[in-house]
Amino acid sequence: MTTPDLNKPSAPGTLSHWTEEQGKGTLFSGINIGTETVNLVVMNEDDILHAHTEVTEEGGFIVSQRLLEQAKRKLMLPAQSRMTLAATGIGKKTVTFAQKQSSDMVCHARGALWLFPEARTVLDIGASGNRAMSVSKAGKVEKFALNSKCASGTGSFLWGMTKVIEASFEEMTSLSSGIEHGTKISNYCAVFAESEVISKIHGGEPKSRIVAGIYDAVVDRLMEQLNRVGIREEVVVTGGVARNTGLIRALERRIGRKVRVPQDPQIVGALGAALFARVNVGQE
């Protein structure tokens, strides 16, 4: 891996020159084309300057162009400027104009480590799947574990449950707070688990205990992956579902330690891609 020589003065007329003049530093961006969501991160060497998350059905090529235009306007960059872009996520190949591509998992690890340099275990809880990674100090992914096929993705599982419980994510968090032992929900198939919950509601079980039980069931699934990679401090949790405080608390209780959740847990993949774009700096 070559380290860019950031001290070298850049030629006039180039983006690097312009952004340096503006005091913004050299810029890089990363775009994560997921199944439902697209994330964009624009950064310089020190900071994230712009981050955007959007749920969309547009194709990767179109939406990346649109989001980049949007980013340039926000950062007041000249319209014709270009910055090095790396793409990740399931749709990364559609972003044909990206200079580099990197796999989603590796980007996640990279991003998490940048946010929390002490991160050694990264757990990504997504809509359709969870995965755990153990990361070395140098940022190399050592082990990874993915959820087995039949186990439901956490995001969609919880989403289904909000309908059954008839409560929002926030309401679920407050419902379950303070409950040490929830109702046991043993079925790992989302469809059957939902009917299990329904029958418990009809059985008169208090919702607070059921929600705690739902969180416990989700944590059971997450522990499968965590145990396979080994839990080492610090544990960082990423992915949109990490915003669910009730779930995070249940996880912390289970592993007996606090976890770190980024302020914006959804952009970690795109952040990692932007960091990857940095390797290619110097060309426009």
Partner 1 sequence: MESFNQFKSIVESRHDVAVKWKNSTGGKVFGQFCRYVPEELIHAGGGLPVFVLGQIGEFGNVDKFVQENTCPYMRSCYAAGLAGEYDYLDGLVVTHACDMMSKMHDFWRNRTKVPSVFLLDFPHKINESSLIYFRNVLDRFRGYLEERFQAEITDGALKESIQIYNEYRRLLRDLYALRRRDPSPISGLEIHTVVLATLLVRKEVAVSLLKDLLKEVEERRDSRPGGVPILVTGTDVDNLVLYSFLEDCGAAIVADDVCTGSRYFWKPVDEKLKPMDALAERYLNNIPCSRTSPSEERYAHIQELAREFKAKGVIMPIMDFCDAHMFDAPYVLDQLNKNGFPTLKMEIDYTEGGLEQLRPNVEAFLEIISGEE
Partner 2 sequence: MALKGSSKNLQTAMEAYKWVKAGYSNAHRAKEEGRPVAWLMFGVPLEIIYTMGIAPVFPENFGALAAAKRVGFQYCEAAEQEGFNKQICSYARTVMGLTIHPEAVEEAPSGGLALPDLLIAPTMVCDLRQKWFEDVARRLNVPAFFMSVPDHDLTWRTGRPEKYQMDLFISETKDLIRFLEESLKKKFDYDEFHQRMRWSNETWDTRLEILELRKNRPAPMASSDYFATIYPGMTGLGTKEALDFYKRMLEEVKDRAEKKISVVPEEKFRLMWSGIPMWFNLGLINYPEQFGGVMAIETNYQALPRERSNDPFEDLALRYFHKNASIAVDSQVDLAMRFAEDFFIDGVILSYTQSCRPFYIFQAEARNNLQEKMGIPCLMLESDMADERVYSEGQVRTRMDAFLEVVMKQKGIKE
Count interface residues toward partner 1 (CB under 8 A): 15
The verdict on 277 binding partner 1 (CB under 8 A) reads: no
Q: What angle do CA 96, 57, 47 make, to 5 degrees?
A: 60
Give the C-alpha separation, 106 to 81, whole Å. Answer: 28
- Taking residue 137's Cβ as centre, other Cβ atoms within 10 Å add up to 10
Q: Which does 252 bind (CB under 5 to 8 A by kind): partner 2, partner 1, none?
A: none
Q: Considering only residues 31-90, where is the footprint of partner 1 by CB under 8 A?
A: 90
Contact status: 220 vs partner 2 (CB under 8 A): yes
Site string for partner 2, 178-197 (x = CB under 8 A): --------xxxx--x--xx-
Interface with partner 2, residue 257, by CB under 8 A: no
Element holding 251 (H helix, E strand): helix 245-255
The CA radius of gyration of the chain, in Å to the nearest whole number, is 21
- Measured from the CB atom, the residue of 113 and 222 that comes closer to partner 2 is 222
Q: Judged by CB, which is closer to partner 2: 84, or 225?
A: 225
The SS3 call for residue 231 is coil
Contact call for residues 90 and 273 (beta carbons, < 8 A)? no
The site partner of 249 among partner 2, partner 1, none (C-beta below 5 to 8 Å per kind) is: none
196-255: contacts with partner 1 (CB under 8 A): none
- Concatenating the DSSP letter of every residue in 46-87 gives S-EEEEEEEE--S-HHHHHHHHHHHHHHHTT--TT---EEEE
Residue 104 burial (CB count, 10 A): 21
Which residues, at least 6 apart from 180, have a Cβ–Cβ distance to it below 8 Å? 212
Enumerate residues 108-167 that contact partner 1 by CB under 8 A. 110, 139-141, 144, 146, 148-149
Among partner 1, partner 2, none, what binds residue 62 when CB lies within 5 to 8 Å by partner kind? none
- 3-class secondary-structure state, position 266: helix
Q: Is 146 exposed, middle or buried (0-12, 13-18, 19+ CB in 10 A)?
A: middle
Which residue in 97, 198, 206, 232 binds partner 2 (CB under 8 A)?
A: 198
**Residues between 113 and 152 with contacts to partner 2, criterion CB under 8 A:** 148, 150
Q: Among residues 104 and 196, whose Cβ is nearest to partner 1? A: 104
Question: Least distance in Å: CB of 2 to partner 1?
Answer: 12
- Nearest partner of 268 among 107, 126, 138, 120, judged by Cα: 107
As given in the structure block, the two tokens for residue 227 are: 């145990």
Nearer to partner 1 by Cβ, of 131 and 207: the residue is: 131
DSSP 8-class letter at 117? T
Number of H helices, E strands in the chain: 9, 9
* The entry of partner 1, partner 2, none that residue 196 binds, CB within 5 to 8 Å by partner kind: partner 2
- By a kind-dependent CB cut-off of 5 to 8 A, residue 141 interacts, out of partner 2, partner 1, none, with partner 1
Positions that interact with partner 1 (CB under 8 A): 1, 90, 102-106, 110, 139-141, 144, 146, 148-149
Positions that interact with partner 2 (CB under 8 A): 148, 150, 186-189, 192, 195-196, 198-199, 220, 223-224, 227-228
